[in-house]
Structure 1
Amino acid sequence: MLHPSQTRWLSLVAVVERILEQWDALKLFFTNTWLSEKLVSTEIIFNNLNDPFIKLYFNFLAWILPKFTEFYKFFQSENVVITSLNDKIHEIYRDILLCFLKRDYVMKHELESINFVNEEIWLRNEQMYLGVRVMNDLKNLEISRSKLELNKFFSVCRNFLVTSAKEIKKRYRMNDPLLSKLHILHPANAASSKFRESVPSIFSLIELLPRVVQMDNMSLIQNIDNQWRNLPAKFNELDLTLPIDKFWSELHLCQDYRELSQFALDTLCIPHSNAQCERVFSHVNLMKTKIRNKLLTKTVNGTLLAAQHIKETGSCIDFKPSDEMLCKLNLSMYKRINTSSPESTAALNDSDSE
């Protein structure tokens, strides 16, 4: 059996799935244990395993938890996903609302203006969508006869969905002026002539980023806009399947689109989460331990860059050092220490004493 963890809470989905997978085996085990040992704890577990509503709650969790798990995995991505962040949040937010609100109301109103706490637009209990497992279990006569427990179950699930929508809305503005426009920089949109019918100019995005392009530099803004309007003529020479940052990096090599690509690359530097920074902190903690507490900053930085480069090539098995790298593997690499810093001087003294 798997156990939930506070530090690795994304594993909660696997815990729920494992319990449901082994439900019948657990019932047999705790039935035998309760009859033989007569313990209060085993009796409680036995009663819960034989309660159809407990399994109903687990089936609801098995349906709803993967939505949040996939959503949070999206934020942990190492790739540039800032251009699709707005659409992703809108997707999960609308999906949650459609589970307990009337569809016509949700589809006809802006997501930012939807008042999901208004009970007049709530679906009836039997109309709520809580996953196919719950729908299948509700056919059980034992469950359908217990109206009080059934209403309590629907109330708990509705509160879960309402709280989820409330927390998402509290953390994100559905009509955010900047994030709602970053999809413009997606390669498929940037290279599309049809997309120019709805977005003929990139000025609306530029004016939202005064720290990237100063608004008093109208000549630069005009050059960026001209290059944006002419970009579809270049798309046959570009690989639209490239990651977003690499797409604009390739375009940056073309002199005719230098200003536009630089603006796009500067804009894509906006972080979508702090997951990547925390990964770097974890790597540093694994390297600079209590035993290896005298590592120089240059050494730590070099190790991090080496690990990142090897990861980009696949793995350490597939990595092939270049001739330039091999030429640097000589005695001179041990002498490249800046002796002017106190940290380096201490390291040299330590090496001399050894």
Structure 2
Amino acid sequence: MCSDGASVMIGQHNSFASRLIGDIPNAIVVKCICHSAAIIASKACLALPRGPEDLLRQIGSYVSGSSKRCAQLEALQEMLNEKKKKILRTCTTRWLSHHKCVESVLENWDVLLAFFNQAVTQDKLKSTEAILLELNNQCNKIYLFFLKYVLNYFNTLNALFQSKAPLIQVLQRESIKIFLSLGQNFIKKSELNITCAVRSPHISLPLEEVFLGFECNELLKTVPKTAANKIRTDCLQFYITALEEIQRRLPLKTELFKEIEFLNPEVAMAVKGNKNDLTFENICKIVCVDANSLLQEWRTMQGERYLDDCVVSCIKQPTSLIV
């Protein structure tokens, strides 16, 4: 059963899931993978300073909230020979949209500096002065480059499972993939596995070796060492929180999803010998299915494939067919 994380759906007491499990003890409840990815990213971002996120929100509200200001920004982009790109607003209910907002601000960084320098003298508002001050803070730009790098992992996972095709057979593989992909940025290769204690200092790389993305790492060289170490420490906490949340929310070790990979046609048709028999036995232990019917369907599919191969072979050799 897949649903969002609302308590009425999957709560421990008197929810749809608890009643379902009462009737079907073998039922396995899975939260929406896309919703879980957004929650993981939002909780991990709490480890970072609020400044960069506030800057995104303030820029979006100031520019996108006025058609006149949008036109002024577009004219400035044209004058500076930059691509015309809109500044997007952040959305708290669609948290993974932050990645596109980060990209739009970074791509227009120099244009925004010129725009708010002009706005400060024309509008004479405290809000524009505050935005310009934060734009001139190099640390904010470094944090945004880190978010551009790391949020792409979650957006890729989200985009995959937005597909209309059934992808339950790759759910565990993709969950493990994002865990290991994020983990390799700060955990020693010899210690990296889905059960590792991510907060243990013994498994972490030295702080200066933590990878934050190419653009972020390059920009870190332009700030004082104290500020760079502060940024690295904050980003390390992001990684640690993200991996802890992945261990808690994604099906990394659920046995069913490990066995159910045979539902992928490419995997199923590649199985040879008695290997598939072991898979059927494991499936039947985990899920209440009619093993005889399942095995008969599997063997029928194999027989149809063999028949198709014979037909193709005969078409390629018409003389043997005539004989």
Q: Do both proteins adopt the same fold according to a TM-score greater than 0.5, normalized to the shorter chain?
A: yes
Q: Which amino acid aligns with 2:101?
A: V
Q: Which residue does 2:130 correspond to in 1? A: 44
Equivalent runs, 1:140-219 vs 2, <5 Å:
140=222, 143=223, 146-194=224-272, 196=273, 198-201=275-278, 202-210=280-288, 212-213=289-290
Q: Which residue does 2:104 correspond to in 1? A: 18
Q: Which residue does 2:171 correspond to in 1? A: 85
Identity %: 28
Contact kept in structure 2, 1:100 and 1:129, CA below 8 Å:
yes
Give the Å deviation of 1:231.
4.6
For the aligned residue pairs, the C-alpha RMSD in angstroms reads 2.3
Contact kept in structure 2, 1:190 and 1:231, CA below 8 Å:
no
Provide the rounded CA distance (Å) in 2 between the counterparts of 1:3 and 1:173: 32
Q: Which residue does 1:338 correspond to in 2? A: none
- Report the CA distance shift for 1:40/1:227 in structure 2 as closer, same or farther (over 3 A): closer
Task: Normalising by structure 2, report the TM-score.
Answer: 0.63
Output one character per residue of 1:152-175: Cα deviation in whole Å (capped at 9) or x when no partner. 111111111111111111113422
Provide the rounded CA distance (Å) in 2 between the counterparts of 1:12 and 1:103: 30
Output one character per residue of 1:21-78: Cα deviation in whole Å (capped at 9) or x when no partner. 1100111122233345554322222221111111001111111112112212333332
Provide the rounded CA distance (Å) in 1 between the counterparts of 2:121 and 2:286: 69
Provide the rounded CA distance (Å) in 2 between the counterparts of 1:129 and 1:154: 9
Output one character per residue of 1:195-220: Cα deviation in whole Å (capped at 9) or x when no partner. x454433111122112x33xxxxxxx
Task: Normalising by structure 1, report the TM-score.
Answer: 0.57
Match 1:126 to one of 188, 208, 216: 208
Output one character per residue of 1:296-344: Cα deviation in whole Å (capped at 9) or x when no partner. xxxxxxxxxxxxxxxxxxxxxxxxxxxxxxxxxxxxxxxxxxxxxxxxx
Greater mean alpha carbon deviation, residues 226-235 or residues 83-92: 226-235
| Count of equivalent residues | 222
Give the Å deviation of 1:192.
1.9
Q: Does 1:99 align with 2:176?
A: no
Contact kept in structure 1, 2:171 and 2:251, CA below 8 Å:
no
Structure 2: give runs of 5+ residues left out of the alignment: 1-86, 310-323
Give the Å deviation of 1:13.
1.6
Provide the rounded CA distance (Å) in 1 between the counterparts of 2:244 and 2:307: 46
**SS of 2:256 mapped into structure 1:** coil
